[in-house]
Structure 1
Amino acid sequence: MYVLEKAPAKINLSLDVLYKRPDNFHEVEMVMTTIDLADRVELSMLAEDRIKIESENRFVPNDERNLAYRAAKLIKDTYNINKGVRIKIVKQIPVAAGLAGGSSDAAATLRGLNQLWSLNLSLDVLATLGAQIGSDVSFCVYGSTALATGRGELITELPPPPACWVVLAKPSIGVSTQTIYQQFNTNNIAHPDTKGMISAINNNDYTTMCKKLGNVLESVTLSLYPEVRQIKQLMLQSGADAVLMSGSGPTVFSLVQHESRAERIYNGLRGFCGEVYVVRLLGYRQALD
Protein backbone atom coordinates (compact mmCIF):
# COMPACT_ATOMS: atom_id res chain seq x y z
CA MET A 1 0.00 0.00 0.00
CA TYR A 2 1.11 3.53 -0.81
CA VAL A 3 0.01 6.93 0.60
CA LEU A 4 0.94 10.35 -0.78
CA GLU A 5 0.64 13.46 1.40
CA LYS A 6 1.18 17.11 0.54
CA ALA A 7 3.17 19.08 3.13
CA PRO A 8 2.63 22.82 2.52
CA ALA A 9 4.88 25.55 3.92
CA LYS A 10 3.54 28.15 6.31
CA ILE A 11 4.14 31.85 6.76
CA ASN A 12 3.52 33.94 9.85
CA LEU A 13 1.19 36.85 9.20
CA SER A 14 1.67 37.83 12.82
CA LEU A 15 4.15 36.54 15.41
CA ASP A 16 4.17 37.81 18.98
CA VAL A 17 6.20 36.56 21.94
CA LEU A 18 4.60 37.35 25.28
CA TYR A 19 6.98 35.95 27.90
CA LYS A 20 9.32 33.09 28.77
CA ARG A 21 7.54 30.24 30.52
CA PRO A 22 8.78 28.18 33.48
CA ASP A 23 9.37 25.25 31.07
CA ASN A 24 11.82 27.47 29.11
CA PHE A 25 9.49 27.71 26.12
CA HIS A 26 8.12 31.10 25.11
CA GLU A 27 4.42 31.92 25.27
CA VAL A 28 3.45 33.02 21.76
CA GLU A 29 0.54 34.36 19.74
CA MET A 30 0.89 33.63 16.03
CA VAL A 31 -1.41 33.94 13.07
CA MET A 32 -0.22 31.43 10.48
CA THR A 33 -1.42 30.35 7.07
CA THR A 34 -0.31 27.88 4.41
CA ILE A 35 1.08 28.75 0.99
CA ASP A 36 1.23 26.91 -2.32
CA LEU A 37 4.79 25.69 -1.83
CA ALA A 38 4.90 22.14 -0.58
CA ASP A 39 7.03 19.08 0.00
CA ARG A 40 5.67 15.69 -1.06
CA VAL A 41 5.75 12.88 1.48
CA GLU A 42 5.35 9.35 0.11
CA LEU A 43 4.72 6.54 2.61
CA SER A 44 4.78 2.84 1.86
CA MET A 45 4.94 -0.42 3.78
CA LEU A 46 8.28 -2.02 4.59
CA ALA A 47 8.62 -5.77 5.10
CA GLU A 48 10.90 -5.26 8.11
CA ASP A 49 9.86 -3.40 11.28
CA ARG A 50 11.85 -0.17 10.93
CA ILE A 51 11.56 3.43 9.80
CA LYS A 52 13.41 4.29 6.59
CA ILE A 53 13.76 7.95 5.51
CA GLU A 54 14.72 8.70 1.92
CA SER A 55 15.41 12.09 0.32
CA GLU A 56 17.57 13.36 -2.49
CA ASN A 57 18.16 16.58 -0.53
CA ARG A 58 21.51 16.29 1.26
CA PHE A 59 20.33 18.58 4.07
CA VAL A 60 17.56 16.16 5.09
CA PRO A 61 18.74 13.75 7.83
CA ASN A 62 17.62 10.11 7.62
CA ASP A 63 17.61 9.38 11.37
CA GLU A 64 15.92 10.63 14.57
CA ARG A 65 17.01 14.20 13.79
CA ASN A 66 14.33 14.18 11.09
CA LEU A 67 10.92 15.27 12.40
CA ALA A 68 9.15 12.86 10.04
CA TYR A 69 11.18 10.03 11.57
CA ARG A 70 10.13 11.20 15.04
CA ALA A 71 6.50 11.34 13.94
CA ALA A 72 6.62 7.77 12.69
CA LYS A 73 8.34 6.56 15.86
CA LEU A 74 5.77 8.36 18.02
CA ILE A 75 2.89 6.69 16.17
CA LYS A 76 4.58 3.27 16.42
CA ASP A 77 5.32 3.66 20.14
CA THR A 78 1.94 5.15 21.07
CA TYR A 79 -0.17 2.56 19.25
CA ASN A 80 2.18 -0.45 19.47
CA ILE A 81 2.58 -0.72 15.71
CA ASN A 82 4.99 -3.51 14.79
CA LYS A 83 5.22 -2.58 11.12
CA GLY A 84 7.84 -0.85 9.03
CA VAL A 85 7.47 2.22 6.85
CA ARG A 86 9.45 3.84 4.07
CA ILE A 87 9.10 7.64 4.06
CA LYS A 88 10.31 9.41 0.93
CA ILE A 89 10.48 13.20 1.27
CA VAL A 90 10.59 15.19 -1.96
CA LYS A 91 11.72 18.65 -0.83
CA GLN A 92 10.45 21.86 -2.38
CA ILE A 93 10.41 23.96 0.81
CA PRO A 94 13.83 25.45 1.64
CA VAL A 95 15.52 23.95 4.71
CA ALA A 96 16.03 26.06 7.89
CA ALA A 97 14.02 28.85 6.32
CA GLY A 98 11.31 29.79 8.85
CA LEU A 99 8.67 28.08 6.70
CA ALA A 100 8.07 24.98 8.89
CA GLY A 101 9.20 22.54 6.21
CA GLY A 102 10.33 19.90 8.70
CA SER A 103 7.23 20.37 10.84
CA SER A 104 4.98 20.05 7.80
CA ASP A 105 6.77 16.83 6.78
CA ALA A 106 6.14 15.47 10.29
CA ALA A 107 2.48 16.46 10.12
CA ALA A 108 2.14 14.83 6.69
CA THR A 109 3.73 11.69 8.12
CA LEU A 110 1.18 11.60 10.96
CA ARG A 111 -1.71 12.00 8.52
CA GLY A 112 -0.23 9.49 6.10
CA LEU A 113 0.44 6.79 8.69
CA ASN A 114 -3.08 7.29 10.01
CA GLN A 115 -4.23 6.12 6.56
CA LEU A 116 -1.50 3.57 5.86
CA TRP A 117 -2.08 1.75 9.14
CA SER A 118 -5.88 2.35 9.29
CA LEU A 119 -5.73 3.97 12.73
CA ASN A 120 -8.85 6.13 12.20
CA LEU A 121 -7.50 8.95 14.38
CA SER A 122 -9.05 12.42 14.14
CA LEU A 123 -7.02 15.46 13.09
CA ASP A 124 -7.41 16.74 16.66
CA VAL A 125 -5.72 13.61 18.03
CA LEU A 126 -2.96 13.85 15.41
CA ALA A 127 -2.42 17.52 16.31
CA THR A 128 -2.08 16.61 19.99
CA LEU A 129 0.52 14.00 19.06
CA GLY A 130 2.25 16.55 16.86
CA ALA A 131 2.76 18.89 19.81
CA GLN A 132 5.17 16.29 21.24
CA ILE A 133 7.37 16.61 18.14
CA GLY A 134 7.60 20.37 17.64
CA SER A 135 5.74 23.61 18.25
CA ASP A 136 4.60 24.09 14.61
CA VAL A 137 3.56 20.49 13.96
CA SER A 138 0.06 20.86 15.43
CA PHE A 139 -0.71 23.76 13.08
CA CYS A 140 0.70 21.82 10.12
CA VAL A 141 -1.54 18.83 10.85
CA TYR A 142 -4.57 21.02 10.05
CA GLY A 143 -2.82 22.94 7.28
CA SER A 144 -5.23 25.84 7.28
CA THR A 145 -5.17 29.36 8.74
CA ALA A 146 -5.09 29.62 12.50
CA LEU A 147 -4.23 31.47 15.66
CA ALA A 148 -1.57 29.46 17.49
CA THR A 149 -1.03 30.11 21.19
CA GLY A 150 0.75 28.44 24.11
CA ARG A 151 4.12 27.47 22.66
CA GLY A 152 2.39 27.20 19.29
CA GLU A 153 0.48 23.96 19.87
CA LEU A 154 -2.93 25.43 20.82
CA ILE A 155 -4.76 25.94 17.54
CA THR A 156 -7.86 28.03 16.82
CA GLU A 157 -8.74 27.76 13.14
CA LEU A 158 -9.59 30.90 11.15
CA PRO A 159 -11.06 31.51 7.70
CA PRO A 160 -8.63 31.68 4.78
CA PRO A 161 -7.00 35.11 4.41
CA PRO A 162 -7.77 37.41 1.46
CA ALA A 163 -6.42 35.93 -1.77
CA CYS A 164 -3.11 37.35 -3.01
CA TRP A 165 0.29 36.48 -4.42
CA VAL A 166 3.26 35.76 -2.18
CA VAL A 167 6.88 36.28 -3.21
CA LEU A 168 9.34 34.39 -1.02
CA ALA A 169 13.08 34.97 -0.90
CA LYS A 170 15.57 32.97 1.16
CA PRO A 171 19.22 34.02 1.33
CA SER A 172 21.87 31.30 1.28
CA ILE A 173 22.06 31.08 5.07
CA GLY A 174 20.32 28.99 7.70
CA VAL A 175 18.97 30.52 10.88
CA SER A 176 18.65 28.63 14.16
CA THR A 177 15.33 29.32 15.86
CA GLN A 178 16.99 28.57 19.21
CA THR A 179 19.68 31.19 18.58
CA ILE A 180 17.13 33.87 17.68
CA TYR A 181 15.08 33.18 20.81
CA GLN A 182 18.23 33.29 22.95
CA GLN A 183 18.97 36.76 21.58
CA PHE A 184 15.36 37.94 21.95
CA ASN A 185 14.45 40.24 24.85
CA THR A 186 10.77 40.41 25.79
CA ASN A 187 11.23 43.89 27.32
CA ASN A 188 10.57 47.07 25.35
CA ILE A 189 9.18 45.48 22.21
CA ALA A 190 6.36 46.70 19.99
CA HIS A 191 3.80 43.90 19.97
CA PRO A 192 1.91 43.28 16.72
CA ASP A 193 -1.86 43.74 16.69
CA THR A 194 -2.91 40.09 16.71
CA LYS A 195 -6.60 40.92 17.22
CA GLY A 196 -6.45 43.38 14.35
CA MET A 197 -4.94 40.73 12.09
CA ILE A 198 -7.66 38.23 13.03
CA SER A 199 -10.33 40.87 12.37
CA ALA A 200 -8.84 41.64 8.94
CA ILE A 201 -8.92 37.95 8.03
CA ASN A 202 -12.47 37.52 9.29
CA ASN A 203 -13.55 40.56 7.23
CA ASN A 204 -11.56 39.47 4.15
CA ASP A 205 -9.85 42.89 4.32
CA TYR A 206 -6.60 42.72 2.34
CA THR A 207 -5.49 46.31 3.01
CA THR A 208 -5.83 45.96 6.78
CA MET A 209 -4.17 42.53 6.70
CA CYS A 210 -1.13 44.14 5.07
CA LYS A 211 -1.06 46.91 7.68
CA LYS A 212 -1.27 44.45 10.57
CA LEU A 213 1.66 42.21 9.53
CA GLY A 214 4.14 41.97 12.39
CA ASN A 215 6.91 39.72 13.74
CA VAL A 216 8.74 40.53 16.99
CA LEU A 217 11.61 38.20 16.05
CA GLU A 218 12.35 40.13 12.87
CA SER A 219 14.48 42.83 14.51
CA VAL A 220 16.73 40.17 16.09
CA THR A 221 17.34 38.35 12.80
CA LEU A 222 17.82 41.60 10.85
CA SER A 223 20.49 42.73 13.32
CA LEU A 224 22.39 39.42 12.97
CA TYR A 225 21.98 38.90 9.22
CA PRO A 226 22.19 42.09 7.10
CA GLU A 227 21.33 40.15 3.93
CA VAL A 228 17.82 39.58 5.34
CA ARG A 229 17.40 43.34 5.77
CA GLN A 230 18.58 43.88 2.18
CA ILE A 231 15.98 41.47 0.84
CA LYS A 232 13.24 43.28 2.74
CA GLN A 233 14.37 46.64 1.37
CA LEU A 234 14.53 45.32 -2.20
CA MET A 235 10.99 43.96 -1.95
CA LEU A 236 9.65 47.27 -0.66
CA GLN A 237 11.48 49.19 -3.38
CA SER A 238 9.99 46.85 -6.00
CA GLY A 239 6.44 47.77 -5.01
CA ALA A 240 5.31 45.09 -2.54
CA ASP A 241 2.11 45.88 -0.67
CA ALA A 242 3.63 44.50 2.55
CA VAL A 243 6.83 42.70 3.54
CA LEU A 244 7.65 40.55 6.58
CA MET A 245 10.10 37.89 7.69
CA SER A 246 8.50 34.50 8.39
CA GLY A 247 9.14 32.78 11.71
CA SER A 248 12.71 33.23 12.94
CA GLY A 249 13.83 33.69 9.33
CA PRO A 250 15.73 34.02 7.18
CA THR A 251 12.97 33.84 4.54
CA VAL A 252 11.25 37.14 3.78
CA PHE A 253 7.90 37.30 2.01
CA SER A 254 5.98 40.05 0.27
CA LEU A 255 2.25 40.23 -0.39
CA VAL A 256 0.88 41.63 -3.65
CA GLN A 257 -2.53 41.51 -5.28
CA HIS A 258 -1.40 41.60 -8.90
CA GLU A 259 0.58 38.87 -10.60
CA SER A 260 2.50 41.35 -12.76
CA ARG A 261 3.89 43.07 -9.67
CA ALA A 262 4.76 39.71 -8.09
CA GLU A 263 6.74 38.86 -11.23
CA ARG A 264 8.53 42.21 -11.06
CA ILE A 265 9.59 41.58 -7.45
CA TYR A 266 10.65 38.04 -8.37
CA ASN A 267 12.80 39.26 -11.28
CA GLY A 268 14.36 41.98 -9.11
CA LEU A 269 15.44 39.42 -6.51
CA ARG A 270 16.68 36.57 -8.68
CA GLY A 271 20.14 38.04 -9.18
CA PHE A 272 20.51 38.85 -5.49
CA CYS A 273 19.04 35.75 -3.87
CA GLY A 274 19.37 32.09 -4.83
CA GLU A 275 15.94 30.85 -3.73
CA VAL A 276 12.99 32.96 -4.87
CA TYR A 277 9.42 31.72 -5.36
CA VAL A 278 6.10 33.18 -6.48
CA VAL A 279 3.17 31.31 -4.94
CA ARG A 280 -0.39 31.84 -3.79
CA LEU A 281 -1.82 31.86 -0.30
CA LEU A 282 -3.72 28.64 0.44
CA GLY A 283 -5.03 28.94 3.96
CA TYR A 284 -7.67 26.21 3.86
CA ARG A 285 -7.65 22.61 4.97
CA GLN A 286 -8.79 21.15 1.62
CA ALA A 287 -5.39 22.04 0.16
CA LEU A 288 -4.04 18.88 1.77
CA ASP A 289 -6.18 16.57 -0.35
Structure 2
Amino acid sequence: MNLFLEVTGKRKNGYHTLSTLFAKINIYDVLDFKFANGGKPILEIVDEFHACRLSAGPDNLVMRAAKAFYRSFRIGVGVHITLTKRIPMGAGLGGGSSDAAGTLLGLAQFFQIKLTAARKKKLHDLGVELGADVAFFLKDSPFCLATGIGDRLRPMKIPRSLPYMVLAWPGFPSPTGPVYKALAARRRPDILTRLSQLDKLVRRLKRGRPVDEWGGLLFNRLEQAELPVLADVAQARRIMEAAGVEGVRMSGSGSSVFGFVSSHAEGERIVRRLRVYPWKVFLTSCLG
Protein backbone atom coordinates (compact mmCIF):
# COMPACT_ATOMS: atom_id res chain seq x y z
CA MET A 1 0.00 0.00 0.00
CA ASN A 2 0.97 3.67 -0.22
CA LEU A 3 1.63 5.45 3.06
CA PHE A 4 2.27 8.57 0.99
CA LEU A 5 1.48 9.27 -2.66
CA GLU A 6 2.06 12.47 -4.60
CA VAL A 7 1.57 12.73 -8.36
CA THR A 8 4.42 14.83 -9.72
CA GLY A 9 3.82 14.75 -13.48
CA LYS A 10 2.79 12.80 -16.55
CA ARG A 11 4.92 11.27 -19.30
CA LYS A 12 4.15 11.23 -23.00
CA ASN A 13 3.36 7.51 -22.82
CA GLY A 14 0.53 8.21 -20.39
CA TYR A 15 2.25 7.00 -17.22
CA HIS A 16 2.17 9.39 -14.27
CA THR A 17 5.30 10.09 -12.27
CA LEU A 18 5.07 9.73 -8.52
CA SER A 19 6.79 10.30 -5.25
CA THR A 20 5.52 7.59 -2.95
CA LEU A 21 6.28 5.50 0.12
CA PHE A 22 5.41 1.85 -0.48
CA ALA A 23 4.76 -0.56 2.39
CA LYS A 24 4.12 -4.30 2.25
CA ILE A 25 1.37 -5.61 4.51
CA ASN A 26 0.43 -9.00 5.91
CA ILE A 27 -2.40 -9.72 3.46
CA TYR A 28 -1.46 -11.78 0.44
CA ASP A 29 -2.48 -14.10 -2.36
CA VAL A 30 -0.87 -17.55 -2.65
CA LEU A 31 0.87 -19.02 -5.71
CA ASP A 32 1.56 -22.74 -6.09
CA PHE A 33 3.64 -24.27 -8.91
CA LYS A 34 3.58 -27.85 -10.20
CA PHE A 35 4.97 -29.51 -13.32
CA ALA A 36 2.45 -30.01 -16.12
CA ASN A 37 2.31 -31.36 -19.66
CA GLY A 38 2.26 -29.15 -22.72
CA GLY A 39 5.44 -27.10 -22.40
CA LYS A 40 3.68 -23.90 -21.32
CA PRO A 41 2.17 -22.27 -18.22
CA ILE A 42 -1.44 -23.02 -17.23
CA LEU A 43 -3.32 -20.96 -14.63
CA GLU A 44 -6.04 -22.00 -12.20
CA ILE A 45 -7.66 -19.46 -9.85
CA VAL A 46 -9.14 -20.28 -6.44
CA ASP A 47 -11.22 -17.34 -5.19
CA GLU A 48 -11.01 -18.20 -1.49
CA PHE A 49 -12.81 -15.17 -0.12
CA HIS A 50 -14.94 -14.29 -3.15
CA ALA A 51 -12.64 -11.31 -3.50
CA CYS A 52 -12.64 -11.05 -7.27
CA ARG A 53 -14.01 -12.06 -10.62
CA LEU A 54 -10.76 -12.73 -12.33
CA SER A 55 -10.12 -14.42 -15.66
CA ALA A 56 -7.39 -17.04 -15.95
CA GLY A 57 -6.87 -16.06 -19.59
CA PRO A 58 -3.89 -14.47 -21.34
CA ASP A 59 -4.61 -10.98 -19.98
CA ASN A 60 -4.20 -12.13 -16.38
CA LEU A 61 -1.04 -10.63 -14.88
CA VAL A 62 0.12 -14.03 -13.64
CA MET A 63 -0.15 -15.44 -17.16
CA ARG A 64 1.55 -12.40 -18.67
CA ALA A 65 4.38 -12.67 -16.14
CA ALA A 66 4.74 -16.42 -16.73
CA LYS A 67 4.87 -16.02 -20.51
CA ALA A 68 7.41 -13.19 -20.22
CA PHE A 69 9.54 -15.37 -17.93
CA TYR A 70 9.31 -18.33 -20.34
CA ARG A 71 10.45 -16.17 -23.26
CA SER A 72 13.25 -14.48 -21.36
CA PHE A 73 14.67 -17.65 -19.76
CA ARG A 74 13.80 -19.98 -22.65
CA ILE A 75 11.70 -22.40 -20.61
CA GLY A 76 10.17 -25.35 -22.47
CA VAL A 77 8.64 -27.29 -19.57
CA GLY A 78 4.97 -27.00 -18.66
CA VAL A 79 3.88 -25.67 -15.27
CA HIS A 80 0.48 -25.55 -13.58
CA ILE A 81 0.09 -22.37 -11.49
CA THR A 82 -2.63 -22.16 -8.85
CA LEU A 83 -3.44 -18.64 -7.68
CA THR A 84 -5.41 -18.52 -4.42
CA LYS A 85 -6.90 -15.05 -4.48
CA ARG A 86 -7.44 -13.20 -1.21
CA ILE A 87 -6.68 -9.59 -2.10
CA PRO A 88 -9.73 -7.81 -3.58
CA MET A 89 -9.44 -6.48 -7.12
CA GLY A 90 -9.46 -2.72 -7.67
CA ALA A 91 -8.64 -2.11 -4.02
CA GLY A 92 -5.39 -0.15 -4.45
CA LEU A 93 -3.46 -2.89 -2.64
CA GLY A 94 -1.23 -4.06 -5.49
CA GLY A 95 -2.82 -7.49 -5.72
CA GLY A 96 -2.17 -7.94 -9.43
CA SER A 97 1.32 -6.45 -9.22
CA SER A 98 2.31 -8.66 -6.29
CA ASP A 99 0.96 -11.71 -8.13
CA ALA A 100 3.06 -10.82 -11.18
CA ALA A 101 6.19 -10.36 -9.06
CA GLY A 102 5.45 -13.58 -7.16
CA THR A 103 5.13 -15.41 -10.45
CA LEU A 104 8.52 -14.18 -11.69
CA LEU A 105 10.27 -15.03 -8.43
CA GLY A 106 8.34 -18.27 -7.97
CA LEU A 107 9.21 -19.57 -11.42
CA ALA A 108 12.88 -18.73 -10.87
CA GLN A 109 12.82 -20.76 -7.67
CA PHE A 110 10.73 -23.56 -9.20
CA PHE A 111 13.15 -24.00 -12.10
CA GLN A 112 16.17 -23.54 -9.77
CA ILE A 113 17.50 -20.53 -11.64
CA LYS A 114 20.14 -18.77 -9.56
CA LEU A 115 19.36 -15.07 -9.44
CA THR A 116 22.65 -13.35 -10.22
CA ALA A 117 22.75 -9.56 -10.36
CA ALA A 118 22.20 -9.71 -14.13
CA ARG A 119 19.18 -11.99 -13.77
CA LYS A 120 17.70 -9.82 -11.03
CA LYS A 121 18.02 -6.88 -13.42
CA LYS A 122 16.27 -8.96 -16.07
CA LEU A 123 13.39 -9.71 -13.67
CA HIS A 124 13.20 -6.02 -12.76
CA ASP A 125 12.90 -5.05 -16.42
CA LEU A 126 10.24 -7.70 -17.00
CA GLY A 127 8.37 -6.41 -13.97
CA VAL A 128 8.37 -2.80 -15.15
CA GLU A 129 6.97 -3.91 -18.50
CA LEU A 130 4.14 -5.70 -16.68
CA GLY A 131 3.20 -2.80 -14.41
CA ALA A 132 4.63 0.16 -12.55
CA ASP A 133 4.28 -1.39 -9.06
CA VAL A 134 5.71 -4.82 -9.89
CA ALA A 135 9.31 -3.74 -9.29
CA PHE A 136 8.55 -2.96 -5.63
CA PHE A 137 7.26 -6.47 -5.00
CA LEU A 138 10.46 -7.91 -6.47
CA LYS A 139 12.43 -6.17 -3.70
CA ASP A 140 13.17 -7.84 -0.37
CA SER A 141 12.60 -4.60 1.54
CA PRO A 142 9.15 -4.14 3.14
CA PHE A 143 9.39 -0.35 2.70
CA CYS A 144 10.62 1.61 -0.32
CA LEU A 145 10.62 5.22 -1.38
CA ALA A 146 9.77 5.34 -5.07
CA THR A 147 9.96 7.92 -7.82
CA GLY A 148 9.59 7.75 -11.60
CA ILE A 149 6.51 5.68 -12.37
CA GLY A 150 7.11 3.78 -9.15
CA ASP A 151 10.06 1.83 -10.56
CA ARG A 152 12.96 3.87 -9.13
CA LEU A 153 13.18 2.36 -5.68
CA ARG A 154 15.16 3.20 -2.57
CA PRO A 155 14.74 0.67 0.25
CA MET A 156 13.99 2.25 3.60
CA LYS A 157 14.72 0.77 7.02
CA ILE A 158 12.33 1.46 9.89
CA PRO A 159 13.85 0.58 13.28
CA ARG A 160 10.67 -0.56 15.01
CA SER A 161 7.45 -2.23 13.93
CA LEU A 162 4.61 0.08 12.97
CA PRO A 163 1.35 -0.17 14.93
CA TYR A 164 -1.44 -2.54 13.95
CA MET A 165 -3.52 -1.44 11.00
CA VAL A 166 -7.23 -1.59 10.26
CA LEU A 167 -7.90 -2.05 6.56
CA ALA A 168 -11.35 -1.82 4.99
CA TRP A 169 -12.40 -2.61 1.43
CA PRO A 170 -15.85 -1.08 0.81
CA GLY A 171 -16.87 -3.89 -1.53
CA PHE A 172 -16.45 -2.16 -4.88
CA PRO A 173 -13.41 -1.57 -7.12
CA SER A 174 -11.92 1.80 -7.99
CA PRO A 175 -10.77 2.23 -11.63
CA THR A 176 -7.14 3.35 -11.70
CA GLY A 177 -7.17 5.05 -15.12
CA PRO A 178 -10.25 7.22 -14.54
CA VAL A 179 -8.98 8.23 -11.09
CA TYR A 180 -5.72 9.57 -12.55
CA LYS A 181 -7.61 11.21 -15.40
CA ALA A 182 -9.98 12.95 -13.00
CA LEU A 183 -7.03 14.23 -10.98
CA ALA A 184 -5.32 15.64 -14.09
CA ALA A 185 -7.88 18.45 -14.32
CA ARG A 186 -6.97 19.77 -10.86
CA ARG A 187 -4.18 22.24 -10.13
CA ARG A 188 -1.64 21.11 -7.54
CA PRO A 189 0.21 24.25 -6.40
CA ASP A 190 1.30 22.63 -3.12
CA ILE A 191 3.44 19.81 -4.59
CA LEU A 192 6.70 21.11 -3.09
CA THR A 193 5.04 21.46 0.30
CA ARG A 194 3.78 17.90 0.08
CA LEU A 195 7.20 16.55 -0.88
CA SER A 196 8.63 18.32 2.16
CA GLN A 197 5.90 16.59 4.17
CA LEU A 198 7.11 13.23 2.82
CA ASP A 199 10.64 14.03 4.00
CA LYS A 200 9.30 14.80 7.47
CA LEU A 201 7.28 11.55 7.50
CA VAL A 202 10.34 9.52 6.54
CA ARG A 203 12.48 11.13 9.24
CA ARG A 204 9.94 10.38 11.95
CA LEU A 205 9.44 6.80 10.83
CA LYS A 206 13.21 6.24 10.76
CA ARG A 207 13.44 7.57 14.31
CA GLY A 208 10.77 5.14 15.47
CA ARG A 209 8.40 7.87 16.60
CA PRO A 210 4.84 6.95 17.75
CA VAL A 211 1.92 7.15 15.33
CA ASP A 212 0.53 10.37 16.82
CA GLU A 213 3.71 12.11 15.57
CA TRP A 214 3.45 10.91 11.96
CA GLY A 215 -0.13 9.77 11.31
CA GLY A 216 -1.11 13.27 10.24
CA LEU A 217 1.69 13.29 7.65
CA LEU A 218 0.24 10.41 5.62
CA PHE A 219 -1.09 11.70 2.30
CA ASN A 220 -2.64 10.53 -0.95
CA ARG A 221 -3.11 13.03 -3.76
CA LEU A 222 -5.51 10.71 -5.57
CA GLU A 223 -8.12 11.28 -2.87
CA GLN A 224 -8.66 14.68 -4.52
CA ALA A 225 -9.81 13.20 -7.84
CA GLU A 226 -13.46 14.05 -8.39
CA LEU A 227 -15.19 10.76 -9.12
CA PRO A 228 -18.46 9.42 -7.65
CA VAL A 229 -16.74 6.21 -6.53
CA LEU A 230 -14.25 8.22 -4.47
CA ALA A 231 -17.08 10.02 -2.68
CA ASP A 232 -18.04 6.61 -1.29
CA VAL A 233 -14.41 5.99 -0.34
CA ALA A 234 -14.33 9.34 1.48
CA GLN A 235 -17.40 8.27 3.45
CA ALA A 236 -15.58 5.09 4.48
CA ARG A 237 -12.65 7.24 5.63
CA ARG A 238 -14.92 9.39 7.79
CA ILE A 239 -16.52 6.31 9.37
CA MET A 240 -13.10 4.85 10.22
CA GLU A 241 -11.91 8.14 11.70
CA ALA A 242 -15.04 8.32 13.85
CA ALA A 243 -14.31 4.77 15.04
CA GLY A 244 -10.93 5.91 16.39
CA VAL A 245 -8.53 4.87 13.61
CA GLU A 246 -5.52 7.21 13.23
CA GLY A 247 -3.97 8.52 10.00
CA VAL A 248 -6.80 7.21 7.82
CA ARG A 249 -6.03 7.29 4.10
CA MET A 250 -7.04 5.68 0.83
CA SER A 251 -4.40 3.32 -0.56
CA GLY A 252 -3.29 3.92 -4.14
CA SER A 253 -6.19 4.76 -6.44
CA GLY A 254 -8.62 3.10 -4.03
CA SER A 255 -10.93 1.75 -3.04
CA SER A 256 -9.42 0.35 0.18
CA VAL A 257 -8.98 2.59 3.22
CA PHE A 258 -6.49 2.04 6.03
CA GLY A 259 -5.30 3.55 9.28
CA PHE A 260 -3.44 2.67 12.46
CA VAL A 261 -4.55 1.68 15.96
CA SER A 262 -2.79 1.74 19.32
CA SER A 263 -3.01 -1.99 20.08
CA HIS A 264 -4.24 -5.36 18.83
CA ALA A 265 -7.14 -5.24 21.31
CA GLU A 266 -8.15 -1.77 20.14
CA GLY A 267 -7.95 -2.96 16.54
CA GLU A 268 -10.21 -5.94 17.27
CA ARG A 269 -12.74 -3.64 18.92
CA ILE A 270 -12.79 -1.32 15.92
CA VAL A 271 -12.99 -4.20 13.43
CA ARG A 272 -16.07 -5.55 15.24
CA ARG A 273 -17.62 -2.09 15.12
CA LEU A 274 -16.95 -1.69 11.41
CA ARG A 275 -18.41 -5.07 10.47
CA VAL A 276 -21.91 -3.60 10.59
CA TYR A 277 -21.01 -2.16 7.17
CA PRO A 278 -20.97 -4.27 3.97
CA TRP A 279 -17.17 -4.17 3.84
CA LYS A 280 -14.32 -6.62 4.11
CA VAL A 281 -12.43 -5.48 7.21
CA PHE A 282 -8.99 -6.74 8.24
CA LEU A 283 -6.78 -6.24 11.27
CA THR A 284 -3.28 -6.49 9.86
CA SER A 285 0.19 -4.97 10.01
CA CYS A 286 3.07 -3.85 7.84
CA LEU A 287 5.82 -6.39 7.24
CA GLY A 288 9.23 -5.82 8.73
* TM-score clears 0.5: yes
After TM superposition, list the pairs within 5 Å mapping 1:202-281 onto structure 2: 202-207=206-211, 208-220=213-225, 224-281=229-286
Q: State the AA in 1 paired with 2:207.
A: N
- 205-214 vs 14-23, which moves further: 205-214
RMSD: 1.8
Aligned CA distance change for structure 1 residues 264 and 124 (closer, same or farther; 3 Å): farther
The answer to whether residue 67 in structure 2 is matched with residue 62 in structure 1 is: no
Gaps of 5+ in 1: 1-10, 285-289
Matched residues in 1 for 2:225 and 2:178: separation? 10
- 175-184 vs 243-252, which moves further: 175-184
> 1:96 — aligned with what?
90
Q: Residue 183 of structure 1 aligns to a residue in which SS?
A: helix
Q: Contact conserved, 2:24 with 2:143, CA < 8 A, in 1?
A: yes
2:132 to 125, 135, 140: 135
Q: Contact conserved, 2:33 with 2:81, CA < 8 A, in 1?
A: yes
2:78 to 62, 81, 84: 84
Aligned CA distance change for structure 1 residues 189 and 173 (closer, same or farther; 3 Å): farther
**Cα shift readout 1:51-109 (whole Å, capped 9, x = no counterpart):** 21111226121112211111111111112211221111111111111000111111111
**Cα shift readout 1:240-269 (whole Å, capped 9, x = no counterpart):** 121000000010001112122212221221
Gaps of 5+ in 2: none
> 1:8 — aligned with what?
none
After TM superposition, list the pairs within 5 Å mapping 1:13-52 onto structure 2: 13-52=3-42
Q: State the AA in 2 paired with 1:181.
A: Y
- 102-111 vs 120-129, which moves further: 120-129
Matched residues in 1 for 2:217 and 2:161: separation? 13
> 1:169 — aligned with what?
168
Aligned CA distance change for structure 1 residues 221 and 75 (closer, same or farther; 3 Å): farther
Matched residues in 2 for 1:130 and 1:240: separation? 34
Q: Per-residue deviation at 1:127? A: 2.5
Matched residues in 2 for 1:235 and 1:107: separation? 31
Aligned CA distance change for structure 1 residues 231 and 221 (closer, same or farther; 3 Å): farther
Q: State the AA in 2 paired with 1:156.
A: R
Matched-pair identity in %: 30
Q: Contact conserved, 2:182 with 2:226, CA < 8 A, in 1?
A: no
> 2:100 — aligned with what?
106
Q: Contact conserved, 1:266 with 1:278, CA < 8 A, in 2?
A: yes
Aligned CA distance change for structure 1 residues 106 and 31 (closer, same or farther; 3 Å): same
Q: Residue 211 of structure 1 aligns to a residue in which SS?
A: helix
Q: Contact conserved, 1:162 with 1:201, CA < 8 A, in 2?
A: no
Q: State the AA in 2 paired with 1:170.
A: W
TM-score, with length taken from structure 1: 0.89
Q: Contact conserved, 2:8 with 2:18, CA < 8 A, in 1?
A: yes
**Cα shift readout 1:19-73 (whole Å, capped 9, x = no counterpart):** 1112221111110111111111111221211221111226121112211111111
Q: State the AA in 2 paired with 1:20.
A: K
* Structure that is richer in strand per residue: 1
Q: Residue 29 of structure 2 aligns to a residue in which SS?
A: strand
The answer to whether residue 148 in structure 2 is matched with residue 150 in structure 1 is: yes
Aligned CA distance change for structure 1 residues 27 and 228 (closer, same or farther; 3 Å): same
